A and B are shown apart, each in its own frame.
Chain A
Amino acid sequence: MSLRAKSLLKIAVILFIAVFLAYTLVFGIKIGPYQVAPVKKAIKLGLDLQGGIYVLLEAKPRPGQTITDEKMNAAKEVIARRVDQLGVAEPIVVRQGENRIRVELPGVKDSQKALEVIGKTASLQFIGPDQKVILTGDNVSDARAVYGNLNTPMVSLKLDSEGAKKFAEATQKFLDKPIAIVLDGEIISAPIVRSVITNGEAVIEGLSSIDEAAQLAALIRGGALPVDLEQREIRAVGPTLGADSLAKSLRAGMIGVVLVMAFMILYYRIPGLVADLALMFYIMLVLIVFITLDATLTLPGIAGFILSVGMAVDANVLIFERFKEELRSGKTLRAAMDAGFSRALTTIFDSNLTTIISALVLFYFGTGPIKGFAVTLIIGNIASLFTAIVVTRILLVNLINTRLFTNKKLFSA
């Protein structure tokens, strides 16, 4: 195969990859058992774009109490359960730091109600079949998930002396009947009394797994030893505003990217066109990494991404300017291209590495949003290095080899 044909083939392959990636991102793809969702569905949107509530809760110790890991975990379980009752799709309830819990409820419309549900202090009651309260969370001193005799998972309960006395009476009265354990007005377990328990130590059997036992124990602990949670930070965005922000920023972003691309073609002609193709690769690559890392896209995130598109052409601008300098000194297209690339490479390497170093430091020493920002910066930098150097180079070198364009003017010189 001639050099020319080989070059044409290579260009065709790259164009094919670009179209394939673009198609996959826009429409998704299904090959046998493997499935890739379109970017619209695969990328997670932040609450500012889809609407919803974000609440940061901080535990406040009661006088004489301390906040322990165990109590925080129990409190988290209690909140996760309440959130489930709200019927929110894909809620997030996670611990943050030592004494905070972050709650994110996408798509919630009635924020007032949601806040009330999340904010109330847990209450735990044991209720007999006669609907009378036997004892409350105050009487429960501990609840743990343990393995029983036959390696069956169960929850072991310890009651204080007052609780033990009440429980002894109740188990006598309700032998072979269920006693409901009620958290925040909802039955979380209704074990049947198998024997009279006088020492205040009971077990709940019939749990399918140790995980289920652990969760039940945590819920009981959360109701028995509640921590007071203060709402330190609340952000509620209505679904219309979120959708509006998303639509507006996407449209503005597209216009911005088109402007950048138009500028590159007008100024650099054929190399500009090649840079634009590399830029499309950049955009797709970053989106793929975002999806793979399960990153959440927020409004400032979109702004940062669009800005990074403008910055990503920098490596190409550096190469093309060098290329022009070399052309002016009388080199052939191919020689100027090689010289331009190799001379611009040190600059690109140094300038990008400096940025990556500061981003790594930010990642290491920062938390939360700063860490997220650093990751975005690093992804953007590496992706632009790859597309601006590798993709552009292959395309340009092969394009010159095809000898389709020999007029130096088309290469902006």
Chain B
Amino acid sequence: MRIYRIMERKWLWMSISLAVIALGLFSLGTRGLNWGIDFTGGDILHYNIGQPYSLNEARELIGSFNLRTFEVKEAGDDRQELIVRTVILSADQQKKITESIRQKWPQAQLIRAEKVDAVIGKELQRQALIALLIANIGVLIYVTFRFEFKSGVAAILALVHDVLVMISFYSIFNIPVDSTFIAVILTVVGYSINDTIVIFDRIRENLKIMGKASFDEIANTSIVQTMARSINTSITTLLSIIALYFLGGETIKDFTLALIVGIVSGAYSTIFIASPLWSMFRGQQKTARA
């Protein structure tokens, strides 16, 4: 069995993650997150134009309404759909925009309209944060009980890593953060903790067998022994969601893409963050039984 020298390069793996997160934090600091209407309040108008159209013309058309901010986006398989995101519109304004679009493109139809007052999203966001925090404490307690406190801390740090990578991803690629963002984060956290525990479980088992080995060696061996499983589970999970990304339609493209990034991050953090951290926390002594 090949032994990969993963622990020996732990600083490399952590640096890669830190670089991604630093880039994300820089993006977050300079331009922030692209908060969707669920959080900022506003309107989304989704039209099926029914014929090829020019996005620039659409932008000009919406621009003529003198809204404080707005965004236009092409969508649909044949690029004949138009998604307009604006500040909160009055019923009258919305009507006029739809009318002007239908004047320009007579076959156009409003197929989706959403309006959100900012209050709702903020409440959901706060609740989600609190719930997530308490869930993490629950995981920490369980892992401490079943394994040890140091494993718990390493597992939680890996989760924090995943959440930071996700936030970085949203910020760098300017993906709108809507209410599904919370679902994405929760899914990824669930996947990641599951993944981490599998390796910690193997480490626990190997601690008993490999009495004389160093913690680095034990972590390395455990990672290698579970490598096939780590890769295969990531593959099946990604296979299931990638089809959805390509074929699932416009409305869930961002959602599925974020899930894909999160799954990759969760798989990475298990091997390259949680395990090295565990080994570091256990200290430098040569043998596990020292």
Q: Using CB atoms and an 8 Å cutoff, list the residues of chain A in contact with chain B.
A: 48, 56, 58, 111-112, 115, 230-238, 240-241, 244-245, 248-249, 251-253, 255-257, 259-260, 263-264, 267, 299-300, 303-304, 306-307, 309-311, 313-314, 317-318, 321, 325, 346-347, 350-355, 357-362, 365-370, 373, 377
Contact = CB atoms under 8 A, between A and B. Distances in A.
Given A303-B259, A361-B135, A370 B186 contact: yes
23 contacts: A234-B115, A234-B116, A238-B111, A251-B247, A252-B244, A260-B239, A264-B236, A299-B251, A303-B248, A306-B243, A321-B228, A350-B146, A351-B194, A354-B193, A355-B194, A358-B139, A361-B135, A362-B186, A365-B131, A370-B127, A370-B131, A370-B186, A377-B190
B212 to A, nearest CB: 21
B255 A314 contact: no
B182 A369 contact: yes
* Binding site secondary structure of chain B: helix
Contacts of B195: 351
Contacts of B286: none
Given A255-B247, A309-B240, A321-B226, 4 more contacts: A233-B116, A253-B248, A307-B241, A358-B190
Contacts of B226: 321
A235 B114 contact: yes
Contacts of A248: 247-249
Given A233-B120, A313-B233, A362-B186, A369 B179 contact: yes
Contact of B124 (A111, A256, A368): A368
Contacts of B130: 365
A310 B239 contact: yes
Contacts of A369: 124, 179, 182-183
A347 B135 CA distance: 20
Contacts of A361: 131, 134-135, 138
Contacts of B186: 362, 370, 373, 377
Contacts of A358: 135-136, 138-139, 189-190, 193
A237 B48 CA distance: 12
Nearest to B202: A347
A359 B131 CA distance: 10
A239 to B, nearest CB: 9
B66 interface: no
Interface size of B as a range: 35 or more
Contacts of A366: 127-128, 131
B127 A347 contact: no
A231 to B, nearest CB: 7
Contacts of A317: 229, 232-233, 236
A369 B187 CA distance: 13
Contacts of B110: 238
A267 B232 CA distance: 9
A365 B232 contact: no
B161 interface: no
Given A238-B111, A366-B131, A370-B128, A351 B243 contact: no
A280 to B, nearest CB: 14
Interface in B246-271: 246-249, 251-252, 255-256, 259
Contacts, number: 212
Contacts of A115: 91
Contacts of B236: 260, 263-264, 310-311, 313-314, 317
Contacts of B139: 354, 357-358
B113 interface: yes
Contacts of A263: 232, 235-236, 239
B281 interface: no
Contact of A310 (B179, B193, B200, B238): B238
B93 to A, nearest CB: 13
A145 B134 CA distance: 45
B55 interface: no
A325 B154 CA distance: 28
Contact of B259 (A240, A253, A307): A307
Contacts of A256: 239-244
Nearest to A247: B249
Contacts of A231: 115
A304 B228 CA distance: 24
Nearest to A245: B249
B11 interface: no
A360 B131 CA distance: 10
B197 interface: yes
B31 interface: no
Contacts of B95: 112
B199 to A, nearest CB: 9
B201 interface: yes
A355 B228 contact: no
Contacts of B241: 256, 303, 306-307, 310
Interface string B65-97: 000000000000000000000000001000100
A379 to B, nearest CB: 13
A240 B255 contact: no
Given A233-B120, A236-B113, A252 B248 contact: yes
Contacts of B190: 355, 358-359, 377
B252 A300 contact: yes
B146 to A, nearest CB: 6
Contacts of A299: 251-252
B109 interface: yes
Interface in B103-141: 109-117, 119-120, 124, 127-128, 130-132, 134-136, 138-139
B193 A355 contact: yes
Contacts of A313: 233, 236
Contacts of A357: 135, 138-139, 142
A368 B126 CA distance: 13
Q: Among B48, B131, B134, B247, which residue has the most Cβ atoms of chain A within 10 A?
A: B131
A249 B240 contact: no
A31 to B, nearest CB: 34
Given A236-B113, A366-B127, A48 B251 contact: yes
B111 A249 contact: no
Contacts of B100: none
A42 B256 CA distance: 27
